[in-house]
A and B are shown apart, each in its own frame.
Chain A
Amino acid sequence: MDHQPQSDADFLEPSVLLDETHYQEGFKNGYHDGLSSGKEEARQVGLKMGFQVGEELGFYQGCLDVWMSATRIDQNAFSTRVRKNIEQLAELVSSYPLSDPENEQVQDVMEKIRLKFRVITASLGARLEYEGRPASSKQDVEDL
């Protein structure tokens, strides 16, 4: 480092550097705090969303289990068309990418599932609905 006569800028340098140091320390503390609270919040959101998806899919699977049992007891419990719809719903539910929440298809698959479920209940004349889900498929998932 040059040992030149100190100019005004150099005179102020320690003050500026002090400011900079404090800033850096503040930034580091803030970042760490944010990181850990962000992780905690994200974990809560993930658990909540995962629960909601799981609960909804579980509901449809439950209905499917009952319907398929009914068919095993009596092949003609449902019409051919309704049986086909039940099979299609079963395929859709098992095709839901459970371990891949980042998959872009998730919303699409869930909407197909909901629609197919409504087609079945409408055809059976059954007032059966997953209560947890929003009325319109376009609404955001509500807070539990």
Chain B
Amino acid sequence: MDGAAAELREAHRLAGHADRVWSLAWNPAPGAGAGPVLASCAGDKTVRIWKRAPDGAWQCTDVLEDTHNRTVRCCAWSPDGKLLATASFDATTAVWEYSGCDFECVATLEGHENEVKSVSWSPSGSLLATCSRDKMAWIWEVQPGNEYECVSVLQGHTQDVKMVQWHPHLDILVSVSYDNSIRVWADDGDDEWHCVQTLTEDNNCGHSSTVWAVSFNHKGDRMVTCSDDRTLKVWDTSADLSQPKTGEGHESWRHLCTLTGYHDRTIFSAHWSSEDIIASGAGDDAICLFAEEKNSMVEGPSYKLILKKEKAHDMDINCVRWCPQDPRLLASASDDGTVKLWELKGSVLD
């Protein structure tokens, strides 16, 4: 790097959705020789697929519609990049098969009592998790022939569950909720899933208001959560909670640090890049980027702000996602109905 100050440059503005864009997902495996593929979902009940054309401009190549009859709240690609799951306020989750050019809806998962808020694929691609305003999370197993069986229903949250996210390597599921808590779920090897840890304000320096999102780092030994309490919290998740407790003193996940004062509205989204940069998007229409402070003398890791991009959008930012193929490319989605692509330029290292 040339040592210039870090800068987040707006590279593209993707317009097309007719309502607020809620969530984004980059295809983790778009195929040999294919460029990055981005899915966005919105209040207009559709999902749009965006690709970079040979001339560098981004185009909407597909619109997935006529399936959900309410807002599509979240979308997620399977690890092999061949399936796209879309979660909707219509209480269903649709699964689409992506052949590299076409999309076909191959399954519809019903079961939640009301709005589905989030969907996440396990690292192996064999499990799918969904969560809903009905306070529960469901875990589904993919069967041959596009059949999905419910493995377990996770009960424990006392309010709307906002997001579910699998650990990058282990079969551990994290859920975050309007009840201000973060719950960690693992199974005992026999389809019995239990809550193995709950991170709250009282017990663990947890959030004091709705927790909106969670993101793990590449290694899986750290996770970041963001909240209506306007903070981001970083957690040490190195303990393998998928292993049954053996005797006393089993480890647990613990709070590492809290980032306060960077956003003055609800922080709706946070995402950890493969270069260990945390991006956050909030109701103050701004995007912040953070990196670990390497020279820190305080006990435990601390994080510093790299930059704050004010007025990144005209309205609330609902989702921020780093591109897996280009860790300096960031996508953001907003209530203003647009998706923006940003390039991180300059030096982010000390």
* B interface residues with partner A (beta carbon < 8 Å): 107, 109-111, 113-114, 138, 141, 143, 147-151, 153, 191
Contacts and interface: CB of A to CB of B under 8 A. Distances in A.
A136 interface: yes
A137 B110 CA distance: 16
Contacts of A115: 153
A122 interface: yes
Contacts of A125: 107, 147-148
Interface of A: 79, 81-82, 115, 118-119, 121-123, 125, 127, 135-137
Contacts of A119: 111, 150, 153
Contacts of A137: 113
Interface class of chain B by DSSP: strand
Interface class of chain A by DSSP: helix
A82 B149 CA distance: 8
Contact of A123 (B107, B114, B148): B148
B311 to A, nearest CB: 41
A73 to B, nearest CB: 21
A119 B141 CA distance: 12
Nearest to B114: A136
Given A122-B110, A122-B148, A123-B150, 6 more contacts: A79-B143, A79-B149, A81-B149, A119-B150, A125-B148, A136-B113
Contacts of B114: 136
19 contacts: A81-B141, A81-B191, A82-B149, A115-B153, A119-B111, A119-B150, A121-B110, A122-B109, A122-B110, A122-B111, A122-B148, A122-B150, A123-B148, A123-B149, A125-B107, A125-B147, A125-B148, A136-B113, A136-B114
Contacts of A118: 111
